[in-house]
Amino acid sequence: TTKIGVLAVQGAVSEHVKALKASGAEAYVVKNVQDLEGLDGLVLPGGESTTMRRLLDKYGLFDAIKTFSADKPVFGTCAGLILMAKKIEGRQGPHLGLLDIDVKRNAFGRQVDSFEADLAIKHVADHYDGVFIRAPYIKSVGDGVEVLSTYEDNVVACRQGRFLTCAFHPELTDDLRMHRYFVRMVEETV
Ligand code: GLN
């Protein structure tokens, strides 16, 4: 079985661990650089991207994840998506900058802080209940990025090679199909 880590400096960690295990992978929490050893893939969960970045620097994980991602699959959800983006509106420079996407944080506005939407996700599901919490959306994607899902003309899930990302929280429902898709990606890479 494949071994997948969940970055555990902040945010929705245990739900991802549970979903990965239920999807047929071994799942481990990643709190420091050593925890990355022997893993085949990594999940960057939701939370608050600015805080997560600060903690990545503090624990030396920023460079370690950059190195890890050079040949291993990474799945970022919500704040994790922001960490992976090459361009973030209103911010000078990216965080990890893994994915050729341009994102807007808290993009759905205050009135609709959180909501659920019925999504079609390419390769994954015709109907999928997407849970959005102060979510970002993807304003544009570069060449080689496959759009997997849109909501009201905004891109909310995409894939570029070994990198997968979504603006919603797949760990907060019992639907395992996004996690299963990532586990398959990891299996195909190992
Ligand atoms: N708004 C958060 C950020 O900008 C992301 C929210 C989430 O992960 N649920 O980092």
Rounded to an integer, what distance in angstroms lies between the CA atom of residue 136 and that of residue 156? 8
Report the DSSP beta bridge partners of residue 129. Answer: 118
Q: What is this model's ipTM? A: 0.94
Calculate ∠ Cα 105-106-107, nearest 5°.
85
pLDDT in tens, 1-56: 999 999 999 988 999 999 999 999 999 999 999 999 999 999 999 999 999 999 99
Catalytic residues, by residue number, are 78, 169, 171
Contact 140, 102 (CB under 8 A): yes
Ligand 1 atom having least distance to the Cα of 49: 10
Rounded to an integer, what distance in angstroms lies between the CA atom of residue 152 and that of residue 56? 33
Domains of the chain: 3-189 (3.40.50.880)
pLDDT in tens, 127-152: 999 999 999 999 999 999 999 999 99
Ligand 1 atom having least distance to the Cα of 169: 9
**Closest protein CA for atom 8 of ligand 1:** 46
Phi–psi pair at 76, nearest 5 degrees: -110, 130
Helix axes 49-58, 61-68, angle to 10 degrees: 100
Task: Give the tokens for residue 5.
Answer: 């880590």
